[in-house]
Amino acid sequence: MTKLSVNINKIALIRNAREGNLPDIFKIAQDIEHYGADGITVHPRPDERHILYSDIPVLKKIVTTEFNIEGFPSDRFMKLVIDNAPHQCTLVPDPPDVLTSNTGWDTIKNQNLLKDIIQQLHEKKIRVSIFLNPVEELVYAAKETGTDRIELYTGPYAQKYSKNKKEAISLYIKAAKIAKKIGLGLNAGHDLNLDNLKYFNENIPWLDEVSIGHALISDALYYGLHNTVQMYKNLLVH
């Protein structure tokens, strides 16, 4: 069964609209685990518009499933990750002013940078995943960086799914098969939702993990958080 990691950035965004800790993201993280999620993901950005850097040590102490911190490996981000040693660090090539993640790494041009960053993380026994577009040569180049996994950026899949789902997933299947062949673990994330998740998971049944935040939290407004986590989990059963 593919694991579900829930990104709680949007919960933190609501909290930050007012002073204080309402909603309480720490209790919600624990509740999400209790409701059946296999992990908690956060993506602290330089402007701290949702997850705060000060949230990370607290989450590190209370998360009992898998804790995944994702983001661009700036000096500040790297210190945060190394100091708190999550189970997994997902490296994302986000410039500081980007609204949301919108592409993966060029693992050819950034080969040396990624090798250095990954070595630092491995020294702290942190598993590493690289955010990646479904491009065959980039998957092969990702292997050379020393990463443990890749996370396929599924934004384009989600955009094309309603028009032609078979075409939408074709490049992802090719990239996933290469990752499997060369011994890379496989994650996926971005715009996966209740409509498109099951098809993606059925066609790439060796997925290790999906990370879902925006859609899941939006669905929770209608279905409730407990029900929503279970709905997403049910789509990941093979």
Query: Which sequence positions are flagged as catalytic?
Result: 43, 70, 190
- Check: CB of residue 40 under 8 Å from CB of residue 32: yes
Environment class of 10 (CB within 10 Å of its CB; exposed 0-12, middle 13-18, buried 19+): middle
CB atoms within 10 A of CB 123: 9
For residue 180, give the H/E element and its range. Answer: helix 165-182
User: How many CA atoms does the CB half-sphere of 130 hold within 13 Å?
Assistant: 28
What is the C-alpha separation between 161 and 185, in angstroms, rounded?
24
